[in-house]
Structures are given as C-alpha cells and as structure tokens.
Amino acid sequence: MPWLSTLMAVPVVGAVGVSLVKSDKLAKQLALAVSLVVLALTGVMAARFDPALGASKETRFQFAEVYDWIPRFGVHYGVGVDGIALVLIALSAILVPIVILASWHDADGTGAAAPPKRSVKTYFALLLVLEAMMIGVFAATDVFLFYVFFEAMLIPMYFMIGSYGGAQRSYAAVKFLLYSLFGGLLMLVAVIALYVIAEKNTFMFPELIGVIQDPTTQKWLFLGFFIAFAVKAPLWPFHTWLPDAAAQAPAGAAVLLVGVLDKVGTYGMLRFCLELFPDAAKFFTPLVIVLSVIGIVYGAIVAIGQTDMKRLIAYTSISHFGFIALGVFAMTTDAGAGATLYMVNHGFSTGALFLIAGFLIYRRGSSQIADYGGVQKVAPLLAGTFLIAGLSGLSLPGLSTFVSEFMVLLGTYERYVVPAVIATTGVILAAVYILWMYQRTMNGPTAEAVKGLPDLNIRERWVVGPLIAVIIALGFFPKPALDIINPAVDHTLSNVHIDNVHVNPAVAEKKGAGQ
Amino acid sequence: MESPAEIIPHSGGVIGVSWLMIALPLIGAAVLLLGGRRTDRWGHLLGVAMSLASFVVAVASFMELLGLDPEQRRRAYELYQFIPGVADMGILIDPLSISFALLITGVGSLIHIYSIGYMSHDPDRRRFFAYLNLFVAAMLLLVLSDNYVGLFIGWEGVGLASYLLIGFWQFKPSAAVAAKKAFIVNRVGDFGLLIAIFTVWTTFGSVAFGEVFGKAGEASQNTLTAIGLLLLLGACGKSAQLPLQSWLLDAMEGPTPVSALIHAATMVTAGVYLVVRSGAFFEAAPTAQLVVTIVGVATLLAGAIIGCAKDDIKKGLAGSTMSQIGYMMLGAGLGPVGYTFAIAHLITHGFFKANMFLGAGSVMHGMNDEVDMRKYGGLFPVMRITAITFIIGYLAIIGFPLLSGYFTKDGIIETAIEHNAILGWLAVVGAGITGFYMSRMVFMTFFGKRRWADDAHPHESPAVMTVPLIILSIGSIFLGGFLVLDNRFMQFLAPAVGRPEELPVFHFVSPAGLATLALVAVGAVFAWFRYGAAEVPRVAPRGSFLTTFARRDLYGDALNEALFMRPGQWLTRIAVFFDNRGIDGLVNGLAAAIGGTSGRLRRVQTGYVRSYALSILFGAAVVVGALLYVGNM
Amino acid sequence: MTTHYLVLSALLFAIGAIGVLTRRNAIVVFMCVELMLNACNLAFVTFARQHGNLDGQLIAFFVMVVAAAEVVIGLAIIVMIFRTRRSASVDDASLLKY
C-alpha cells in the first residue's frame, strides 16, 4: 500500500470535499474527520515502521515510492521516510486535527475584536491542503520534489495569514512570502546547480549523497540551501518575519507556521545541508554555532521585552530554533537526536502556548499583555493549562521539552564547551520571559475587563488535553520517540564522516592509555 | 578513611517497590488536579493519606535496609530507560537517601495533617494539598534517584512545587512576584547544576552515581574543582546560600505550612544533600571543599544578622533557616565526619524548624494572620501548647544542652574548628547571634506586654494543628542525642558517605562547646533586656545603621537590582529597539528602498507617445551601434 | 550607383522620425510613421536591386500590407479619440501612464 501517497491524497481530497459541501458546520466536521483519518493512518504507518532498518543504506527510507515525473531531467516523485521524517510527519498529523478543533470559530468573525467573517470553508480547505504539503515536504526523497513542496507550502499559509489574520495581516503575509521566496530562490539555484554539477541526471536524494567532492562547490551550494533553511527556521538574523507573521496569523495558523512549517528549515539543515555537503557543513559549523547561540540568547532577551503575547511566544521560538540548529550542527548523536526530538516537542509546547493564548485573545479581543491580569481567578483551568504550556516552554524537567533541550546541550557540550555554556543561560532567561508573562496575565488582582471571562469549554479542553498529555508523556517516557530517531540520526551523521559522534569520556580514555 | 560501599543491584522486597514512595503522592496530586472541584470534599484527606502511605513505604524500606549487612546497604534498581544511552530512571536506597525519605515523608505527613486545620477556611484547600503532594513526590525523586538526571528532574520538580506554593495566594501581587523570583533565582543555580551534569557526563561517560563516584579520583584536579563549584552553585540556589539567598525571605509569602515543609525542613536542604551525595568529587577537590565551607560560614552569619532585625515572625525564621543551612553547608564541606553532623543537623533542624514555623502559623491563625511580632506579646497564657512547643524548638535551635540542636550543631562546630580554626570560631559567633535573635523572637511573641491589634482574639489552635506540634517538639528534644551519641548516625551513614579512620567522641565539656554556650547565654540575656524586660514599641524604631543593613537583607535585593535587574532591563530595551529598528529596520528599509526606486523608475511611463518614440529610437540606435561595432571587430 | 537611393531613404526616415517626435497632431504623426515605413520600403527595394534578388521586393510588399492594415486601425483609433476628446493632439491622450 502506498502509505505516503495516501497520506497526502486523503487531505487533498478532503479539501475538495470541504470546499464543496453546503454548510459551514458540515465543512468543519468534515475537515476534522479527514484530519483524524490522516492521524489514524499515520499511527498505523508508524506502528509498521521498523527503526532497525534505518542502519542500512538500501532500506533507510521506508514506505518508499519512486515514479518518474520529468524523466528528461531525472525528476522523480520520490517519497519515503526515515525516523527523522516519520516523527515530523507524526507531529503534523497530530497537530492538524487539534488546530482544526481549536480554529472552530476563528473564521466566523465571532470573537471579541475578531476580523470580519470570511469564507469558513476556504479556511478549513486550506488547512487540509497545507497538511498534505507538510507531509509531502518531510516525505520527499527527491530534492526537486522537496523544493516544490517547500515553496508550495507558502501559498496556503500566505492566504491563511493574509485573509484570516489580525489588523496588520497583509503586511505580515507579504513579508512572510517575500522572505521565504527569497530564501527559496537561492535554494532553487543551488538545487539546479547540484543537478548540473553532480552529472548523475537525477534529483534523487540518496543518489546525490557524497557526489559533490570539490570543497569550494560544496561551500557555495551549502550556502544556497542553508540560507533558505535559515530564513525558514528562522535563525538569527533572518528572523524578523516570524514575529509579524505569527502575531498576525490566526492562532491555529500560527501553530502550524511555527510548529511545523519552520521545522522544515531545521529538518532541511539536518537532511540536506549535512549529508549533501559534509565538508562545507564542517567548514561553516563555527558560523552556524555562533548564529545559533546568538539566536538563543537574543531571542530570549527580546522576548522578555515584548508587550504582545503572540509576539512574545514567537520570539521564544526564535530562541528555541537556536537550540535546534545548535543541536544539528554539534554533530553528535545526542545533540542530533535531541535536536530532532526538539523539533517535535517544540511543535507541541509552542502549539499549546499559541492555542491557549488564542483562546484568551478570542475572549478578550486583545493580545496585549497589559490588558490582562488575574485571569487565574476567573478561569483557573485556562490559567493552569497556560502555565503547563509555559513551563514546557521553559523546559521544565518532566515535560517533553526538557529531554530534548537537555540532549541538545549535553551533546553540544561533548564537543563545544563554551557555546553550550552560553546556550545554557537560555534556561535562566526562559524562566524570566515565561513566568513574567504568566504573572502579568494570570496573577495579581483581576483586571476589570477580564472579569466574567468564561473558562475553557469542552471543545477547548479537547484541544488542550491531548497536547498536554503528549507533552507529559514524552517528558517522562521519551524512549519510543528516541528509539525511532536515534538510528536515523546515526545514519545521517555517518554520511557526514565525523569521528566521535558519541561521548568520549576523558577518564575512560586515560584508562585505555594506561593499559 | 574508608570509602563508601559499592552500590548493589537490587530486586524484590519492599525496597523493590520503594518507587511507590514517589508514585503514591504523585497519583494523589494528579487525582486532585484533574478531579477539580469534584474532589473538594475529600481532597485534603486523600493528600494526607498519600503522604502517610509514602511514609509507611519509607519506614518499611528502612526496616528492610536495617536488616541487611551494613556493607550491603546501598541498593539500586532501574525503573525504566529514560534517555536511552544517557540516563535511566533508577532508585537508590542507601542510608543517606532513606534518611531523607523518612524526614520528607515523616515531617511532610505531619505538615499535611496540620494543613487540614490551617487551610480549613481556604476555598482552594484541595489545590493546596495537590501541590503539597506534588512537592513530596518531587522531593523524594530528588533524593531517591540513582543518577544526576533523575536528581535534576526532582530538583526542578521541587522548584515548581515551591513556585506554585509560594504563589498559592497568587491574587496578591507580592506573592506572585515572590514565586517568580524564587523560581528564577533557583534557575541560576540550576544552570550551574546542569553544567555540572554535562561535565560529569563528558568526563566519566555516565551520570549514574554508581559509576561516576568510583572513578572520581581519576579525573583531573581542574575538572573536579569545576564540577564541585558548579554543583555548589546549584546547591546555593536551592538552599538559599550566598549569593543566591535573596529569594528565601520573599518566599514567606506562601502559606505557613509551605514555609515549614519546603522552606525550612526539606527543599532548602536539597543543596546540602547534593553536596554530601557528591562527596566523592568534593573530597578529591579541596579547593571546592574550601569554597563550600566559606559559603556556609558567610551564609550562617548573614542569615543570623538578618534574623536579628526582622519584625515579621516568618521572615525572622527564614533568616534563621538560612543561617542553619549555612551550618549544614559548613559541615558538608568537611568530609565524612562533617557529612554526618550536617545530615544529623539537617534532620533535627527539620524537626525543630518545622515545629517553630508551624508554631508561628498557629500564632498567626489565632491572630488574624498578623505576622508582625511588634503586635504580639504576652501570648503565652492564651496559647499554651503552641507556646511550649515553640519554646522547645527555640531551646533546640540555640543549642540548649541535651536538646537536639545542642548535639548536632556542636558537632559541626567542633569538626570545623579542627579543620579551619577561623571558620570554626566564626560559626561559634554565629551561634551566639542565634541565641540573641531567637530569644528576641520568643520574648516578643509570648512574653512581655500585650500589644495586640484591637480586633485580635488570640486562641489556641484545634488539635489537628497542635498534635503535629507536639510530635515535632518531642523530636526536637530527643532526636539529636539519639543520632549523635555513640556515633549511631555515623555508623549508619558510613556505607553511603564513607567512614573516618577514627570516630569522633562527643565531649560534653569542650572549649568550643563552652564558648558557644556562653555566647548563646549572652545573646539570650541581651535579648531579654531589650525585648523581654523593656517595652517593645509597636512601630519599629529607625535603628542604627547595622539594623537597617540587616532589615534590608544586607542589601542583597538592592545589589541584585543594581547588578542584574536594571542592566537586564536596559539590555532588554536595547535588544527590542535593535530588533525593531536595526534588523527589521534593515529589512523594511531594503523593502522601502526597492519600493522607492521602482516608484521613481515608473515615472518614465509618461503617457506621451513622443517620449516612447524617443526611447524606441534611442534603443534602435544602440542596437544599430552595437551591430556596427560587432561587425567591425 | 544605388547610394543615392539609400541616402534618400535615410533622409526620408529621418524626416519621418523627427516628425513623429515633434508633431502633436495625431494625423501628422501618423503620416510621419507612414513616411518612415516607406523610407524602409525604398531601402528594401534598393538592396534588392543591389543584391540582385527578390527578397527585398517581397518584404516591401509585406510592409505595404501591414501598413495598410495599420492605417485602418490607426485611423479608426484617431477618429474615436477625436470624437470623445474633441482633439487630435497626441499629448492630450496621455492617460495610460504610471
């Protein structure tokens, strides 16, 4: 059974169905049902996935399908997943139904100070189309196909921000589109150059590994890919589109934007930058690590100074993306696996933060922190879940983000001590921005305008509940995810040809020397 | 010196299910938090039951451990793989961890029971018990874990519980601020602990206690010193030692049982546990050990001085807690003998300080939540049980002969003098100051003239509150002697922390002991003249420079504000400005430049046919010229 | 021998070009365009003669046909503009701009 094609086809067909049905309510229900079908299919697929096969070159990508698409140029419709792609597809499949449920009224124009009513059906159809593309971009094993998905993903998101967003939506949407296109075009140049220079007459990723040998060529092509991914992720200093886009997008779209779309950037670094251009990756590692560490500290400091909840969450994400990029380029198994797990966990924790902030904004009609205060008293459940989501944002042990952040820092420390130490200060800053925001919005005397705000209703509980359950479950028992990720990361790093991907204890070394 | 025993894998028996100690209160917390209002009616009972059940498991495990040969008393077992290849969730039951477990669950259960009465009027009592249970679970994870990662999870877990409980009355801005402050200052310490864990991992290739301590001697001196100092930073954060002490006094915003359980008896002593547990590193790094003792002495003096000037009874006790943990830290920096006294003092302190905090809570309960001691006075006749138990705690803490504190504190002081005379005698001075400020507290509260507010009707608290007080005060009387005499506790702890070559003999008459007693007596008498015999003004007098200094917490907050907060705020503002105007300005500037250029450029489209014709002509001329040029080449 | 014809062609083309650039009346501009076209025709024919083949002649016919078609549409446009705007000046019809 063509699992991955089915996974993409179901939401596309669903999107058509959603746009054809008569009533808005039916459209929503259909969209939710379709996304749940995708989730179920993903679950079955994940259960059939065998992590042990990841070690071998031939069976690395499972559920692989390869068909010719443009034979003249060796372009294929090639899909398949390894452990890294699988967990990210699972992340998308879990987030979409949650986002659909959370966005139930976002296009209705019913919230306090919401934008006017727009086509509800279109919104949910766009969500489903976006889901298909998110799955496609992670599943693509053909570089050209990856590029196509990479760019095509922008379009549904552009419309979701541009037509359903807040007051500044068109500015934010255009900024988002132009930024991403700029990066994407650099990548297109690099993709074509890769094809031409490799002279393999194929865009299939597995066949392109290790083909480019010349260091200078590697460096230029690396930059082409890397800048695209750094804009997407976003890394400092390419980040300024994110706060605008995330703050203006409706909460659900912001979750998918920050939770999944941006992961394509860090995923691309791990998959393409490292494996296709290993020498260049090693050459640029110091630069990337510096950018990441700056991003971690800078994002956190700027987040502290934000007055708008959604912008604040967006800046915390910039800090977190710094951690992910740091983990990718530390090039140790612990850091790489940590970074991959971080991508997943960050999707859940930031998703929860954005959605709960969205519920709050839907009620009160403002995203300014100063407009709130003492919400805990009137809506304890909302405040409690917001606190848990926030705590996972500051990587509290026992919540999933801790595992990944710990592994990234630990793995980085194995190789680069000073950057790891500086990055660890992010732990302190995270406590400042999260708890200060929580204190200003939820604690203290109840603000006049907040009085009488309803607590989470049943639908919203179903949105928040699964997210928090996943965050806690992965926090105490990350092994299932790590067992899938670890072999894939090991394989990736083996293609980069570095020694010491595992910790090399100083004391054991001494012992060995003594014998 | 005899090194600690090997850690032996274990299965079966009560110890094999000792993880229930953690699981039971965790289940309690989960049920109470998820159950919501439905559990309001019986929530507090469930909380107490879970804590007591945990205590039962702890006692049973303790008994089973006692049944083993002393060299066999370090048992560890794996629960499940946590981060494959890095850390597993595992439980280590050894004399050190079981001592803590007994203290946490025992004193914890008493405080749970007390809270039923203390929180009876609070609409959120269920939530309070949920948090208390969460705390007990996290604290047990901290002490029972067999590796640093598990310890760290518990470490942050107690930080979370502390945050939630300090901010329990979150509608009070001061409580919310204090909770946040506690968490953030603790995070500074956690930063140190995290880096320490990373260093341990890269040095030894493991984070499990069983593997790393045995190899401690093989690492380089610099590495060990670094690990020691980083662990100490973590310990300073959690245990409110200088320079991370500032959060503890603000933490008194929490309900009083919280102050007793978390900010006196258990959580704040986690730093001492960390240092003692990591003894192998510290013993191999004398520099780090010296810093531990210096921090301990500095804090014990600072805490004592702060305690002298506080009129808020809880803050006075908090200063005292700081100071007493300073003693423990001092002991923890002195090797196996010091460890024993430090942990013994930690346990007795857990009893008498919890006793006094709960006593203070009982007083507040009867005085409409008044905390200002200047509005107390003459309370002895109206609340006799509270007063007597408080006074027992008081006598224990100042080291009145034959009470608990007398044995354990004296042990630390004697050991310190042997190691380093200056630090030891400074600790003696600290004991003298303790005598003063604790006497001041007792005299201001229970004796002298009544200075009550007009609407105050002080009364004795119900039995559910006084019975825990009585039990704690019994411990405050006898526990110290039981542990220290015959070196009972030292023999018991030896498998976990090592055994010194010659066991110390407790001298009832020694120069340091006599000097301590004399200084304490001087302090107490001085306090009697100032606060017992003389009139205490209801409004605090301005006081000398020294008083102000102490009242302002030795300017710790001012220092933090000047050094970190204000520069931090500026940095934040600058960063936000730079982001909006600098980076985003550059981007938007680029966009504006392109927009502007195209705006100019489009003016070429005038709409006049002639100008188009001219440009066509010009273009044609250029093409022709180019052709001619190429043709002539 | 054919140089004179080419010079004449160039002169006619230049006159036409200057006329297009300087005159405002649409009809005159139009005539100038025709003049330029016919200058080209003259050059084509001359070159055909010079090279001794019929290519130039052929193209000249093409140009005439295109010019005729152009005149039909062009004059129609000019008449329409004159009707709506009461002016045959090319400068008045400058609405299609930035």
Which residues of chain B does C94 touch, with a Cβ-Cβ cutoff of 8 Å? 606-608
Quote the tokens at residue B155: 């470490």
Q: Does residue A201 surpass a pLDDT of 80?
A: yes
In a domain, B450, yes or no: no
Minimum distance, in Å, between the CA of residue B613 and any CA atom of chain C? 7
| Beta carbons within 10 angstroms of residue A248's beta carbon | 27
Minimum distance, in Å, between the CA of residue B90 and any CA atom of chain A? 13
Mean pLDDT of A98-114: 81
**DSSP assignment of A206-260, as one string?**
HHHTTT---HHHHHHHHHHHHHHHHHHTTPTTS-THHHHHHHHS-HHHHHHIIII
Amino acid A511: pLDDT: 44
Amino acid A508: pLDDT: 59
Amino acid A8: pLDDT: 93
- The Cα–Cα gap between C32 and B451 comes to 114
Nearest to A293 by CA among A327, A266, A336: A327
Quote the tokens at residue B18: 């000792």
The helix (run of H) or strand (run of E) holding residue B90 is strand B87-93
Is C94 in Cβ contact with B606 (below 8 Å)? yes
Q: How many domains, in total, are found in chain B? A: 1
Digit-coded pLDDT (tens) for A497-513: 777 777 777 775 444 43
Positive/negative CA dihedral, B18, B19, B22, B26: negative
Is B153 in Cβ contact with A402 (below 8 Å)? yes
Amino acid B374: pLDDT: 81
Is A507 in Cβ contact with B203 (below 8 Å)? yes
B-interface mutation test, from A236, A301, A486, A509, most B Cβ less than 10 A away: A301
> For A237, which residue in chain B has the nearest alpha carbon?
B583
The CATH classification of domain C3-85, taken from the options 1.10.287.3510, 3.90.380.10, 2.40.128.110, 2.30.30.100: 1.10.287.3510
Q: Which chains touch C (3 or more CB pairs under 8 A)?
A: B
Minimum distance, in Å, between the CA of residue A84 and any CA atom of chain B? 17
Q: Does residue B349 surpass a pLDDT of 60?
A: yes
Q: How confident is the model at residue A114 (pLDDT cuts 50, 70, 90)?
A: low
What is the interface size between B and C, counted as CB pairs within 8 Å?
Answer: 31
Digit-coded pLDDT (tens) for B60-69: 999 988 888 8
The helix (run of H) or strand (run of E) holding residue B79 is strand B75-83
Q: Does residue B614 sit in helix, strand or coil?
A: helix
Amino acid A496: pLDDT: 86
Q: Does residue C1 surpass a pLDDT of 80?
A: no
> For B612, which residue in chain C has the nearest alpha carbon?
C21
C-interface mutation test, from B600, B608, B624, most C Cβ less than 10 A away: B608
Using a CB cutoff of 8 Å and minimum separation of 24, what contacts does B606-612 make? B606/C94, B606/C97, B606/C98, B607/C93, B607/C94, B607/C95, B607/C96, B607/C97, B607/C98, B608/C90, B608/C91, B608/C94, B609/C20, B609/C29, B609/C90, B609/C93, B610/C20, B610/C21, B610/C22, B610/C90, B610/C91
Q: How confident is the model at residue B59 (pLDDT cuts 50, 70, 90)?
A: very high
Which residues of chain C does B602 touch, with a Cβ-Cβ cutoff of 8 Å? 98
Contact A363, A438 (CB under 8 A): no
Q: Does residue A515 surpass a pLDDT of 50?
A: no
Q: What residues does each domain of chain C span?
A: 3-85
**Is A254 an 8 Å CB contact of chain B?**
no
Digit-coded pLDDT (tens) for A56-90: 888 889 999 999 999 999 899 999 999 999 999 99
Interface of A with B in 368-387 (CB under 8 A): 374, 376-377, 381, 384
Digit-coded pLDDT (tens) for A244-268: 999 899 888 999 999 999 999 999 9
A-interface mutation test, from B576, B577, B586, most A Cβ less than 10 A away: B576
Q: How confident is the model at residue B1 (pLDDT cuts 50, 70, 90)?
A: low
Amino acid A168: pLDDT: 87
In a domain, B460, yes or no: no
Amino acid B505: pLDDT: 78
Is C91 in Cβ contact with B608 (below 8 Å)? yes
| Residue B10 backbone phi and psi in degrees, to 5 | -135, 150
- The Cα–Cα gap between A477 and B153 comes to 13
Digit-coded pLDDT (tens) for A120-175: 899 999 999 999 999 999 999 999 999 999 999 999 999 999 888 888 888 999 99
Is B603 in Cβ contact with C22 (below 8 Å)? no
> For B601, which residue in chain C has the nearest alpha carbon?
C98
> For B610, which residue in chain C has the nearest alpha carbon?
C21
**In A365-416, alpha helices (H):** 375-378, 380-393, 400-415
Question: Going by beta carbons, is chain A in contact with chain C, meaning 3 or more pairs sit under 8 Å apart?
Answer: no
Q: Distances from the Cα of B423 to the Cαs of A193, B319, B392, B519, B523, in angstroms?
A: 71, 20, 28, 16, 20
What lies within 8 Å, CB to CB, of A409 at 6+ separation is: A323, A338, A420, A423, A424, B194, B198
A-interface mutation test, from B148, B171, B174, B573, most A Cβ less than 10 A away: B171
| Residue B284 backbone phi and psi in degrees, to 5 | -85, -5
Question: Going by beta carbons, is chain A in contact with chain B, meaning 3 or more pairs sit under 8 Å apart?
Answer: yes
Q: Does residue B84 surpass a pLDDT of 60?
A: yes
Digit-coded pLDDT (tens) for B540-549: 777 777 777 7
Nearest to B199 by CA among B187, B208, B207: B207
Helices B125-144 & B270-277, crossing angle to 10 degrees?
Answer: 10
Interface of A with B in 174-233 (CB under 8 A): 175, 178-179
Mean per-residue pLDDT over chain A, rounded: 90
Q: Which of C17, C29, C94 is the closest to B607 by Cβ? A: C94
Minimum distance, in Å, between the CA of residue B584 and any CA atom of chain A? 6
Is C98 in Cβ contact with B613 (below 8 Å)? no
Minimum distance, in Å, between the CA of residue B578 and any CA atom of chain C? 37
Q: What is the ipTM of this complex?
A: 0.92
Is A413 in Cβ contact with B198 (below 8 Å)? yes
- HSE-CB at A143 with a 13 A cutoff on CA atoms is 28
- The Cα–Cα gap between B520 and B513 comes to 11
Q: What residues does each domain of chain A span?
A: 3-498
Interface of B with C in 598-617 (CB under 8 A): 602-603, 605-610, 613-614, 617
Mean pLDDT of B10-36: 88
Q: Which chains touch A (3 or more CB pairs under 8 A)?
A: B
Which residues of chain B does A406 touch, with a Cβ-Cβ cutoff of 8 Å? 83, 149, 194
Contact B359, B264 (CB under 8 A): no
Amino acid A138: pLDDT: 94
- The Cα–Cα gap between A340 and A263 comes to 9
Amino acid B373: pLDDT: 81
Burial (CB count <10 Å: 0-12, 13-18, 19+), residue A504: middle
Minimum distance, in Å, between the CA of residue C20 and any CA atom of chain B? 7
Q: Does residue B117 surpass a pLDDT of 90?
A: no
Q: Which of B177, B183, B215 is the closest to A507 by Cβ? A: B215
**Is B41 an 8 Å CB contact of chain C?**
no
Is A479 in Cβ contact with B201 (below 8 Å)? no
Minimum distance, in Å, between the CA of residue B494 and any CA atom of chain A? 27
Mean pLDDT of A9-25: 92
What lies within 8 Å, CB to CB, of B311 at 6+ separation is: B372, B373, B374, B540
Q: Which of B179, B187, B198 is the closest to A410 by Cβ? A: B198
Is B613 in Cβ contact with C20 (below 8 Å)? yes
> For B617, which residue in chain C has the nearest alpha carbon?
C17
Q: Which of A381, A398, A507 is the closest to B204 by Cβ? A: A507
Which residues of chain B does A374 touch, with a Cβ-Cβ cutoff of 8 Å? 171
Question: Going by beta carbons, is chain B in contact with chain C, meaning 3 or more pairs sit under 8 Å apart?
Answer: yes
> For B141, which residue in chain A has the nearest alpha carbon?
A398
What is the interface size between A and B, counted as CB pairs within 8 Å?
Answer: 154
Minimum distance, in Å, between the CA of residue B633 and any CA atom of chain C? 24
